[in-house]
Amino acid sequence: MFARARAIAATLMILSALGAIYVAWLVDPAYLPPSLSTYLFQTFGERPYAAPAATAELPKLQPEEICPPGNSEWRNAQTIDGVNIKESLHCEPDNPYEVAAFVKGTNNVSMGTLMETQLTTDAVVKGRDLDGDGDPDEIHIRLEVAELNGHSPDANIEVPGYSIAPGVKPGFWAFVPKARGMATRNLETFEAQPMLRMPSPTIRVEQGDKVKITLENTHYLPHTIHFHGVDHPFKDANGEGNDGVPLVSEMPIFPGEQRTYDIQPRQDGSMFYHCHVQPQSHVLMGLNGLFVVEPNRPNNPVQTLNVGASQVRHPSVAVQERNSHEYDMHYLAIDYEMHNILKTSNDPRVVSKRLHRDYNITKREPEAFLLNGRSFPYTIRESLVIVKPDERVKMRILNGGADPIYLHTHGHKVTETHYDGIERPEASQITRDVVHVGPAQRVDVELETVNDGLHSYGPGAWLMHDHREEGVTTNGIGPGGNISLIVYEDFLGENGIPKIAGNLSTLFTEEYWRGEIPVFADMDPTGLLSEPVPTASTLTITLLTALLVALLGLFFGSLLWLIRSGGSTSVGAKE
Amino acid sequence: MTDMKNESKPTGFGVLKNTRYSRWAVLASLACGLWLLPAGAMAQTAEPKAGEAKPEMDHTKMDHSKMDHSKMDHSGHDHHKMVMDDGGMVMNWNDDTPSRDCGKISGDVAFEVRAGRKYAEQGQSFGFSQNEWNVPACSRVTITFVNEDNIRHQWMLHGLPRYLYPQGMFHLEASGGTTRKGTFIVPSGDKTFLVHCDMAQHMEKGLKAQFKVGSGSGDLPSVPGITDARVHDPEQQNSGTWQLVLLASGLMIGVGAGVGGGWIGRKSHKSK
């Protein structure tokens, strides 16, 4: 009886082994040693044709409008309260009333103009003309700190919401002008009002101005401001620390407190300001911006703040002497791991622990790359460099991040005129097509749109982007990152969106940035590179794989049986 | 924590829900019964707190020195108007026109509200001196809002009739160390109005309150001292180990009860 059992077990073992080899060959010949699979091909011939996977239909997408309807009259050149404001052809131009208020001062501008903004009466106060040259030299700026995409104890939402690309909402902190009213656009949305945004605004003063900058710390962690490269005394007139470095020059400004910094810069140039509390996280979290000191000129009230950077709609007299347009360009690379800590807890103690102790900047891996607080395609709404032929455009480039950028200007070679606010001797100014800007560095470049094959190759919609290739992606998906364009007006549509070869609609969906849309899907007329769907043949493969596993199970089962029946025999013999 | 990169790609609601809710749901269902008790108790204790704050207008407490009367008067005559000065404002002042459903003003109520860090609960940053107010229907309410911090704060009430209050808002906004006073008239009916400071993250970090007309229409979530948050920090819940131990012991008790019950049943069956 035991002998029979052993015989059955042995037969089962052999059959299941042979079956498993055959099924494995059907599923994938690579499972077998090459000699064995070759033998099977020779024995059974080629395997039958399996229909390939069909192409999936693209999901029905509801893209945002590339240029949402808005205040199109804001784009016009205009004069508000006597302040001349340049035309801005962007889809989303700066609010010209804000520009007027920043030029005249929120204390001097008409109430009607101020009501068209969300600025407080004391956001930018301009006082006396100390040198009698026709512009105010006493400037008092009040900044607050806004958290964007923070935690809500009421729902799983980011408040107030701020998107760098469709559906992409990392947490940020930004210095913002002192504002009034709601933090959201209206009662129906959680989206932040337009002044609460990245990057921190460019601050612009005139050389020699007596500037007071008050930081009202409206945030839940301590902060300071350090004026990097801007001429300022270590202590102010009252003997208070003025360098913004906690423990060294002063104590940090705790939540609910404020401090005023005093500066009177003797030198002009493109400088930098940032929070110096735990800078390894606070600077990169968004608390940094350009600080521009304009050369002193008569009748030169400057645009004290440039919200969202990009085009300067009221350039200084000195800039206008040479340049037709001026652009502030703020670059920042962000590590989601750090920025999303803000969303994980409502408790400042917990956020502080996770940010300042658990998060380790040496393990940093940035996923998103911003130009003026947005990633492509949102950059084309506000941060195009719009030019005409034969112009000289000034671009002040700040790298507010921790990684170098290598800015490539398609179709143009630009001239680097200033490093860190200091003008290069003319003979050593470099003309090139990749501008290298390290962390905290500022490079002023001049873009000449002269079609000479060197400075410009002629009109077009020319890409402009960081050439570290991760810089043109958002979490690894492209085209995103800090891409923008140099666009000649002939290549600009009515609404400020460039006239280009394809349609960007797919990029204006959240699905694209979640990686759910094949990147060539809507460009490829053959559809050959769209997404495959699971087919009958893959189902067959799945079933065969299941059969293979079952056969292997049977093999080991019968092996066990064989061993056991052998053991039983010996036990039986004893009995 | 170390794995945060994987859990929280910033793609909006969906991802957060998936990662947060799964863990949260388990605990929530376990803790549900336990919650109801203290929540109910808290709602009870909220009542007397609100009751005690029902004084008649107390002029002695108001800080007249810091108020700009010329501008206040100006707005008082012309309701729905807004006044802005020195970094602060009063929006939608209305001291004479009751809503259509009221007919006439039922009476005057005045509150002094203070705001600042010193009123913050543990784990928050800012606070109001009081988080609930109760007034009779159609009352004329005067709020004196004292900002004790050195930054801006707001006392913003939402949900008033829009034909009298643009955007349905009554709003006081005070720069650091200043006081603002304003008057509005509540409609009839039992309703709970949201009061908050609508600066970025200020409501979330403590400046949230509820204003009940009549008997109100229930409580709002995450009002400090009154109601719990709807979304908690998943990392702040019991640690993973404890969750596992709890779940395992629950499972063991259940299995033990089942086996033990079967054994007793079989034994009693046998003994018959």
The nearest CA of chain B is from the CA of A510 a distance in Å of 8
Q: How many residues in chain A?
A: 575
More confident residue, A488 or B240: A488
Residues 6+ apart with CB under 8 A from A569: A2, A3, A6
Q: b/e per residue, A426-448, with b = 16+ CB within 10 A?
A: eeeeeeeeebebeebbbbbbbbb
As a whole number of angstroms, the distance between CA B114 and CA B41 comes to 26
The pLDDT of residue B64 is above 50: no
CATH class of A84-321: mainly beta
**Which of A122, A155, A196 is opposite residue B200, by nearest beta carbon?**
A196
Q: Does B173 touch chain A (CB under 8 A)?
A: yes
The nearest CA of chain A is from the CA of B8 a distance in Å of 7
Read off the pLDDT of residues B138-170 as tens digits, 9 standing for 90 and up: 999 999 999 999 999 999 999 999 999 999 999
pLDDT tier at B237, thresholds 50, 70, 90: low
Interface with chain A: mutation pick from B131, B151, B197, B207, highest number of A CBs within 10 Å: B151
Residues of A in contact with B234 (CB under 8 A): 344
Q: Regarding the domain delimited by B53-213, which CATH topology (the fold level of the hierarchy) does it fall under?
A: Immunoglobulin-like (2.60.40)
The pLDDT of residue B28 is above 80: no
Q: Answer yes or no: do B1 and A358 touch at CB < 8 A.
A: yes
The three-state (H, E, C) secondary structure of A39-59, written as one string = HHHHHHCCCCCCCCCCECCCC
Read off the pLDDT of residues A485-521 as tens digits, 9 standing for 90 and up: 999 999 999 899 999 999 999 999 999 999 999 998 7
The nearest CA of chain B is from the CA of A217 a distance in Å of 7
Q: Does A195 touch chain B (CB under 8 A)?
A: no
The pLDDT value given to residue A126: 98
Query: How many A×B Cβ pairs under 8 Å?
Result: 177
Read off the pLDDT of residues A228-260 as tens digits, 9 standing for 90 and up: 999 999 999 999 999 999 999 999 999 999 999
- Can the peptide bond before residue B10 be classed as cis, meaning omega within 30 degrees of 0? no
The separation between the first and the last C-alpha atoms of chain A, rounded to the nearest angstrom, is 15
Average pLDDT score over residue span B68-91: 59
> Is the complex ipTM more than 0.90?
no
Q: Does A167 touch chain B (CB under 8 A)?
A: yes
Place of tokens 């007309």: B213
Q: What angle do CA A297, A302, A306 make, to 5 degrees?
A: 150
The nearest CA of chain B is from the CA of A99 a distance in Å of 18
Instruction: Provide the strand spans (E) within chain B.
Output: 82-85, 88-91, 107-116, 127-128, 132-135, 139-147, 153-158, 169-174, 179-185, 191-196, 208-213
Domain ranges of chain B: 53-213
pTM, two decimals, is 0.83
Q: Does B25 touch chain A (CB under 8 A)?
A: no
The pLDDT of residue B57 is above 90: no
Q: How many residues in chain B?
A: 272
Read off the pLDDT of residues B254-264 as tens digits, 9 standing for 90 and up: 889 888 888 88
pLDDT tier at B271, thresholds 50, 70, 90: low
The nearest CA of chain B is from the CA of A367 a distance in Å of 10
Residues 6+ apart with CB under 8 A from A217: A144, A145, A223, A253, A254, A255, A256, A257, A258, B151
Q: Answer yes or no: do A150 and B156 touch at CB < 8 A.
A: no
B114 C-beta neighbours (distance < 10 Å), count:
18
Residues of A in contact with B125 (CB under 8 A): 220, 255-256, 348
Q: Which helix (H) or strand (E) holds A244?
A: none
The separation between the first and the last C-alpha atoms of chain B, rounded to the nearest angstrom, is 60
The pLDDT of residue B26 is above 60: no
B122 to chain A: closest CA residue: A347
A337 to chain B: closest CA residue: B5
Residues 6+ apart with CB under 8 A from A301: A83, A103, A104, A126, A135, A136
The pLDDT of residue B38 is above 80: no
The pLDDT value given to residue B78: 46
Q: Does A189 touch chain B (CB under 8 A)?
A: no
The pLDDT value given to residue B60: 38
The nearest CA of chain B is from the CA of A408 a distance in Å of 28
The nearest CA of chain B is from the CA of A344 a distance in Å of 6
The pLDDT of residue B10 is above 80: no
Q: Answer yes or no: do B11 and A157 touch at CB < 8 A.
A: no
The pLDDT value given to residue A261: 97
Q: Answer yes or no: do B151 and A217 touch at CB < 8 A.
A: yes
Q: Answer yes or no: do A257 and B150 touch at CB < 8 A.
A: yes
Q: Answer yes or no: do B84 and A120 touch at CB < 8 A.
A: yes
Q: What angle do CA A349, A351, A352 make, to 5 degrees?
A: 65
**Which of B1, B12, B236 is opposite residue A167, by nearest beta carbon?**
B12
B118 to chain A: closest CA residue: A256
Q: Answer yes or no: do A156 and B86 touch at CB < 8 A.
A: no
**Which of B87, B200, B201 is opposite residue A122, by nearest beta carbon?**
B87
Residues of B in contact with A340 (CB under 8 A): 4, 8, 10
Q: Does B115 touch chain A (CB under 8 A)?
A: no
Residues of B in contact with A515 (CB under 8 A): none
Per-residue confidence in pLDDT tens, chain A, 575 aa: 568 888 888 999 999 999 999 999 988 888 999 999 999 999 999 988 877 778 888 888 999 999 999 888 999 999 999 999 999 999 999 999 999 999 999 999 999 999 999 999 999 999 999 999 999 999 999 999 999 999 999 999 999 999 999 999 999 999 999 999 999 998 889 999 999 999 999 999 999 999 999 999 999 999 999 999 999 999 999 999 999 999 999 999 999 999 999 999 999 999 999 999 999 999 999 999 999 999 999 999 999 999 999 999 999 999 999 999 999 999 999 999 999 999 999 999 999 999 999 999 999 999 999 999 999 999 999 999 999 999 999 999 999 999 999 999 999 999 999 999 999 999 999 999 999 999 999 999 999 999 999 999 999 999 999 999 999 999 999 999 999 999 999 999 989 999 999 999 999 999 999 999 999 877 888 878 888 886 666 777 888 889 999 999 999 999 998 888 765 544 444 43
Residues 43-72, chain B: which have Cβ within 8 Å of A?
A: none
Interface with chain A: mutation pick from B162, B201, B223, highest number of A CBs within 10 Å: B201
The pLDDT value given to residue B80: 55
**Comma-separated ranges of CATH 2.60.40.420 domains in chain A:** 84-321
Residues of A in contact with B221 (CB under 8 A): 153-154
Residues of A in contact with B202 (CB under 8 A): 218
As a whole number of angstroms, the distance between CA A217 and CA B184 comes to 30
Contact between A125 and A114 under an 8 Å Cβ cutoff? The reply is: no
Read off the pLDDT of residues B103-115 as tens digits, 9 standing for 90 and up: 899 999 999 999 9
As a whole number of angstroms, the distance between CA A166 and CA B11 comes to 9
